[in-house]
Structure 1
Amino acid sequence: MSTSATCPHAHDISGLREPKLSQSVHREECTQCFDNQDGPAGIDVCLVCFNGSCLDSDRHHTRNHVLRSGHSFTLNIKRTPKKKASNRADGEEPPAKMKRLAINEEREEDKYEHTTVFKCWKCDLQGGKEIAIDTKRLTDGVMLSLSSARQSEVKAWEEEITACEHTLCLEQLQSGAIPQEGLAHCASCELTSNLWLCLACGALGCGRAQFGGTGGNGHALAHFNTTQHPVCVKLGTITPEGGADVYCYACNDARIDPELATHLGTFGINVAVQKKTEKSMTELQIEQNLLFDFSLTAEDGSALQPIFGAGATGLSNLGNRHTLFSLPLFQIRYYGKRPCGTSSAYVSPTAAAHWENCTHALPADCLECQMYKLADGLLSGRYSKPHTDHEQAPTDALAHPTPEHSPWQAGLKPAGFKALVGKGHAEFSTMRQQDAEEFFSHLLTVLRRFNHQNIRGVSESEPTETFAFGLEQRLQCQSCHRVRYRIDTMDTLSLGVPAHELADGEADTGAATVGTPDESGPGKKRYRSVSLEQCLNLFLGPSGQEALEYQCEGGCGKVNCRQMQFATFPDVLVLHAKKFQLVNWVPTKLDIPVILPENDELNLDNYLGHGLQSGEVELPDSSNTSAPSQPEVDAEALSQLEAMGFPTVSCRNALISTGNAGAEVAMEWLIMHMEDPDINVPIQTAGSGHGNAPEPPAEQVAMLADMGFTNAQAKKALRETTTHPLPSSSETKKVPPGSSRLPARYRLKAFISHKGPSVHSGHYVAHIRMPRGDAMDVDDAVGDWVLFNDEKVVRADETSVRDLKKLAYMYVFERE
């Protein structure tokens, strides 16, 4: 890179503008790889579109951006850590002791120094020509802007809490001072903490017991059930600035009260003199998440050994995407097949070709670019090395780590990837913890949609199809014995897991308690272990047949029998173990041990369906009356149910089955039908033409008529919500994905475990069976399993693998 005080293109600089408040400034990391501002070359930020790109000699991302965009000026940014003072000066006061849980923003300028250089690429297309001119306006604009990474993480520790009709229209029925702090207690018990004040009448009630040890008997909720006063405030969380935990029981959610100070004044509470004495709900959630960590020690107490290299790169806060890129089809599609002995400088030919021809203005907005970036980051091994703040760790850093040298990696932080995948989704666009199975399904949907729209005609096979299979449903009328078949395309198989609680002192060899002391102990519920074969039989075997109330088209009865089986098998089978129930309106995880077959091998031959058999007679074809369609559901209620951790299809089925009566009614239905084999099979309804729909039962018409509807209205509503569990066979002739060849043998490739009380708190980690020759080849004597715990990547301990495998949340099997 050359340096000059003058530039013949200086007259073009006056046209450059600092970034707008709404613009993303990619100044921390390259948008096409994970090289960042901490590297020796730094990051070049385009001063027109504010794309960030690296200066690596093998990838040429900055030069490629200049050639593609025609943008010629960049600001090179390098960041170096400030040296830490080893000892305090004599007489210097020690830092103040933290007296309460708080989230203090650590200012970047206190930790790092930044060096910026203005460059012109018209003068030097190879490396950019350094220009020594006054660009303070542009430099300050870039450096003081909210970086793209920070924009993506701004919601990491907070929820979007809004007001509701109950807080906006709050009517206070009584007034008068309440007892002062220290003297107040619940009106129904003697608890003096976790107290909630009803803002309508001033009643004090204790809250529900919270995970983490905060006690409560639920008397505030009981008060709401009795009086229907919905809005309450947690006393110990009121701050002088007017902040507090406000909860609406009618909405069953945290809310904002814009007039909180006025409403509290009704009961003699002066907000200005209040002092926060208890943890807020957000702080409790954060504390709970931070408490959970999977053991990184072996059975003998020794530390598990970190591993580094290709395929062993850590991901900070998004650790379960490792599983996807451990599969050959995803590796080949997004990284290619790197020749043996190739250095980490290898660049995927398909990635390089895409970078040259990408039609998106910014790589950060292109899902294909971000998939190539993630694959390169995880599989190249370039970023898989011990973390150091100042310099490369010495060879003995792993054995004797110091504050400057960590035995772990820094970990990649794909915040931009997650933001792009979650864009526009009510749940996944936030930084709150997501359910792993739901995010997996959403990611596949996003990838398929993108590939269908942007990469038509590409010769590479669609990698998401490695999970797809056909699920056969067989419906038989128990009166006329005629049948109907339907095949649905699925990506995961959700299996109900029977919950049989063990009595005190009852032994179960498979029910090993795994977890922190907070999760185990005398109050910990223990469940009888079940085999994976039992779970499969409940869904796919003869015992999984379901008596279904359905009007036979032949007019001979209403009770039918439905059975599920595989129509085809996938190359990679993802099993989702449904092990949770609703406790205090929170989906609570049940640690039910699931015992896998010997050697983690699975044979599914007995679960293959065979379609219409000789001698079977099909049910009459009702498709000429109306085409099946997806019924409409209440979008708000659907969003509330999804936020509780239930799969979208289950939520839709619940709302349809309960007549869109609201989230609460649908949730009760979900709890009662969680073990139904078709809980995740979309309900179809008749379309707009219902002239030939069967007459609804008289008792159902009478029930609706008792609610005030006319007979005509009741009949019309019942006709339009008549469920059709299976369309006619003529509608299902499309060849399903997957293969029906036998034998269908699988071996466990990975499993995802979750530690925490609910699917929306705690922590996920992944165990992956790594082939020898990857990061595992440093010692042929070690086992195959690797634990990916965010940025921590270690050889897995045999005992922990055995125990955590039983309590896994998702299992990934590869076909042999």
Structure 2
Amino acid sequence: MTDVVSVDCGEAPIENVALALELLKDVDVSAYSIPNHESKIFKDECMFCYTSPYHPGGLYICLKTFTAFCEHHMREMAERRGRNVFLQLKSKKTRDETEEPREKIKRLAIGIDEGFCNEKMEVEDEYYLVIFPRLATRIPINLLSSHPIGVACDRIATTTSAERLELLQGASNAWDGEMKQVTKHVNLKQIDNPPVLPMSGWKCDVETCDLSENLWLNLTDGAIRCGRSQIIGDGVRSRGNNHMKMYYEEKHFPLVVKLGTIEESGVADVYSYDEDDAVANPNLEKHLAHFGLKMKEMKKSEKSTVELELDMNQKWEWARCQEDGENLETVFGPLHTGIVNIGSSCYINSVIQALLSIPDYVNILGKNAPVIMNDIDPCEMNESIPGQMAKLFSSLANGNFSKPPPNNEYNGVKPTQFRKVVGKGHIEFSTCRQQDAEEYLRHLIDKISTHVPIAYGDANAALRFKQQVRLVDESSGHVRYTEKEEFVLALPIPKTSLIPVDQEALRFSVPLTHCISAAFSEESIEGFTSPITGETRGARSCISMATFPDYLMIQVQRFQMGDDYQVKKMDVDVIVEDVIDLTPFRGIGVQPGEQLLPQENTEVDEKIVCELTSMGFTRNAAVKAVLNTKGQDLGGATEWIMRMMDDPTLNDPLPSQMASMNNEEVSGEEVEQLVMFGFTPHQAKYALKKEKDVNAAAEWLFNNGHSVPEESIQPVIDTPKEYRDGSGKYELVSFISHMGSSPHSGHYVCHALRSNRWILFNDEKVAVSKNPPKQLAYLYLYKRV
């Protein structure tokens, strides 16, 4: 018998079938499995880091579990779990020009994960069987056709990976942007005997106006007037005398379209004056034809209002935040790793980079990653929240994916699975749409609190703080003190503190200190009924800091709910100080002589709950809105409900109520009846506790089965939370900026202080910042000094 040690063939693959079969003589049949159609095969990246088949050395797929590892983690797995048979996968991208040798499996690809490209590309996949620890002895799988292990290798090679199958199934969720509302004037009444308009050569109908650009057509009577002038650059304005707005004020004909923006496809800049918004008009072609205009023959010649505004914002806000035009020095190494945008994921990337400014997250989820991942079966890594967090934070912290040239080809990480498991079950974060960074920060903090065992450490302790709420009953003069947990200090933008930046008051600034003072100022609560006197004379309330955390996250509430329930962004410059002192806002508790009101068993703002229920929302929905928009006002809570209207669980009982429901017993016989329909016992019990009747429970499951929360396997242990406290003086160490007009579109970037230098994290781009745009930020992270 030939000793395996004597046949080490170096880097060159074995070419002899007999030699290959000789090497397999001592491989036990229990060391590998043959995958079937239900097997999940992971081969896109290492289970424990972001090494891909394109990296040097490729990946090693365990033939027992079908999970993939880089060489480093493969060696750990082999030594710890006794795995010794692996399929090595090495991939490279090539143009489709030549036919390759038969042992190379080829697959057509467009863009290869990076997205669409015009160039036809192919991926060459090379598969070799290796037996640990002799990794240099590689057996091409085409030599194994006569051995059972060859069947396993061939099926792994020809099966679509589990990661890619999930991406394909979720691809329909990819979307970024905002939909215009259809105008209420779809069936607009147009005048009889309308004028017949030419297809081009228009000018403003006002005799004293000679404008032939920025012209709007009134769809009621065919009048053509110029629009308003707009700033389109530094000191540059578009031409316009606002004659169409004046015409609307005179005639009250509401619907207009900007001539020059009309495309044959029906896309155009349509505005409704009485709806005060840009709108969609499905009958635009019909309305234009009324004046002899043939939409199918019209060509776009001007930018729309939105395009002009976006151009202006991009030239200012986008350019400032991304520091366009600056020759920025790229940086590499630990804590300087970029995160690839995997589809409107910049809000996730920015939040993660900001948290890396906090040692607790770096140490507990990053440096402690091997301990966390050792406790997780590799087959469960892709669905494990602690595992994906450890994988991401460690890969960002260790610098393995941030190498200087010439070794920078594989820089950056793609947290596809992290995004999936952290967002799973959430109506917004489970999609590929752009989201609000502050809301995601809270969501991520909650996931860490509920899924990362406290035995590894409490990463959130550095951000967690208590606020003290003092309420004064106007009727009796009695007071009530309550405390609530917070992770973000929300600051309103006081309109009384706005300072014009330019003479025309088109942009304003506000001192951050004024926003802080406004957050801690006293506010009136209408409709408060005194539990002492029974009179409804209102109350006064204010918040203060009960504890000062190590790191304080501040949100400047740039997004405001308008009267039309549309969220709009306040484009103001915040005058930021690098060092702030919140000591004057520390709560001092009950004072001598104060008489206390009885305590309420609630942590929600009843004022906002009452206002929401008066709008017609259920109390369950209202309370959830308040709890999920901590620190926000009625507008924020209303926006949250409006976004969640399609969630079938919106009006369900609160978690505390569900806990009492879970203690209720259900009929085992009824559970079995529902299980016979294909539901799990957990789903059956959940539905029966909601509906009581088995038929109603079955109907509910058929309609809402997907919304049943995951079954809790481990008992919830109520561990006392840590609230650190100290000085109220802080210095700025990171901030997240948003570019765009809505939290659900646009772009986020993060600036962070690393080794006394401001670093710009713009997705996968990481560079030294020359002019950090602190005045434009949405979230500010301060460190206690």
Give the alignment's TM-score, normalised by structure 2.
0.63
Q: Secondary structure at the match of 1:613?
A: coil
How far is 1:438 from its partner?
2.7
CA distance in 2, matches of 1:151, 1:358: 23
Residues 378, 611 of structure 1: CA spacing in aligned structure 2 closer, same or farther, 3 A cutoff?
same
Q: Secondary structure at the match of 2:70?
A: coil
Q: Secondary structure at the match of 1:471?
A: strand
* Aligned position for 2:661: none
Query: What is the letter of the counterpart of residue 753 of structure 2?
Result: R
Tell me how many residue pairs correspond in the alignment.
631
* Aligned position for 1:87: none
Q: Deviations over 1:731-760 (max 9, x none)?
A: xxx999554755444333322344556656
How far is 1:538 from its partner?
3.1
* Equivalent of residue 126 in structure 2, options 117, 139, 146: 117
* Aligned position for 1:765: 749
CA distance in 1, matches of 2:250, 2:87: 62
* Equivalent of residue 494 in structure 1, options 477, 490, 493: 490
* Aligned position for 2:360: 329
Higher helix share: 2
How far is 1:537 from its partner?
3.1
* Aligned position for 2:141: 131
Residues 63, 125 of structure 1: 8 Å contact kept: no
Superposed counterparts of 1:59-74, under 5 Å: 59=74
* Equivalent of residue 308 in structure 1, options 332, 355, 364: 332
How far is 1:609 from its partner?
1.7
CA distance in 2, matches of 1:211, 1:603: 38
How far is 1:491 from its partner?
1.1
Residues 489, 736 of structure 1: 8 Å contact kept: no
Residues 141, 154 of structure 2: 8 Å contact kept: no
* Equivalent of residue 551 in structure 2, options 568, 572, 578: 572
Query: What is the letter of the counterpart of residue 34 of structure 1?
Result: Y
CA distance in 2, matches of 1:240, 1:654: 39
Q: Deviations over 1:737-785 (max 9, x none)?
A: 55475544433332234455665665433332325xxxxxxxxxxx443
Superposed counterparts of 1:640-789, under 5 Å: 648=629, 653-654=634-635, 739=723, 741-754=725-738, 763-771=747-755, 783-789=756-762
CA distance in 1, matches of 2:779, 2:288: 47
Residues 580, 589 of structure 1: 8 Å contact kept: yes
CA distance in 2, matches of 1:578, 1:130: 59
* Equivalent of residue 357 in structure 1, options 377, 380, 383: 377
* Aligned position for 1:814: 783
Residues 478, 559 of structure 1: 8 Å contact kept: yes
Superposed counterparts of 1:510-659, under 5 Å: 525=506, 527=508, 530=511, 532=513, 534-540=514-520, 544-549=521-526, 550-555=528-533, 558-579=537-558, 587-596=568-577, 600-620=578-598, 648=629, 653-654=634-635
How far is 1:493 from its partner?
0.7
Give the gaps of 5 or more residues in structure 1. Answer: 85-104, 338-347, 394-404, 504-510, 512-520, 642-646, 664-733, 772-782
* Aligned position for 2:402: 384
CA distance in 2, matches of 1:224, 1:566: 50
Query: What is the letter of the counterpart of residue 811 of structure 1?
Result: Y
Residues 575, 737 of structure 1: CA spacing in aligned structure 2 closer, same or farther, 3 A cutoff?
farther
CA distance in 1, matches of 2:247, 2:377: 62
Residues 462, 724 of structure 2: 8 Å contact kept: no
* Aligned position for 2:93: 80
CA distance in 2, matches of 1:657, 1:636: 10
Q: Deviations over 1:104-134 (max 9, x none)?
A: x974572744102356689999798532279
Give the alignment's TM-score, normalised by structure 1.
0.61
Q: Secondary structure at the match of 1:381?
A: coil
* Aligned position for 2:441: 440
How far is 1:492 from its partner?
0.7
Query: What is the letter of the counterpart of residue 114 of structure 1?
Result: V
How far is 1:384 from its partner?
0.8
How far is 1:266 from its partner?
5.4
Quote the sequence identity (%).
26
Give the gaps of 5 or more residues in structure 2. Answer: 1-10, 98-113, 146-150, 623-627, 644-717
How far is 1:50 from its partner?
9.5
How far is 1:566 from its partner?
1.4
* 1:466 equivalenced with 2:490 (yes/no): no
Residues 753, 47 of structure 1: CA spacing in aligned structure 2 closer, same or farther, 3 A cutoff?
same
How far is 1:649 from its partner?
5.1
CA distance in 2, matches of 1:252, 1:573: 38
Residues 366, 478 of structure 1: CA spacing in aligned structure 2 closer, same or farther, 3 A cutoff?
same
How far is 1:39 from its partner?
1.6
CA distance in 1, matches of 2:79, 2:183: 53
Q: Deviations over 1:256-309 (max 9, x none)?
A: 83x7666665554545444344457887788678652348889xx984433211
Superposed counterparts of 1:91-240, under 5 Å: 107-108=116-117, 110=119, 112-118=121-127, 130-132=140-142, 142=160, 158-159=176-177, 161=179, 170=187, 179-184=197-202, 217=242, 219=244, 236=260, 238-240=262-264
Q: Deviations over 1:152-187 (max 9, x none)?
A: 7777675474986959x7466568686244234677
CA distance in 1, matches of 2:389, 2:548: 26
Q: Secondary structure at the match of 1:809?
A: strand
CA distance in 1, matches of 2:168, 2:81: 25
Q: Secondary structure at the match of 2:455?
A: coil
Q: Secondary structure at the match of 2:456?
A: coil
CA distance in 2, matches of 1:146, 1:283: 36
Instruction: Decide which moves more: 278-287 or 438-447.
Output: 278-287
How far is 1:226 from its partner?
7.6
CA distance in 1, matches of 2:310, 2:750: 22
How far is 1:593 from its partner?
3.7
Residues 366, 395 of structure 2: 8 Å contact kept: no
Q: Deviations over 1:301-343 (max 9, x none)?
A: 9844332111111224434121112311111221226xxxxxx
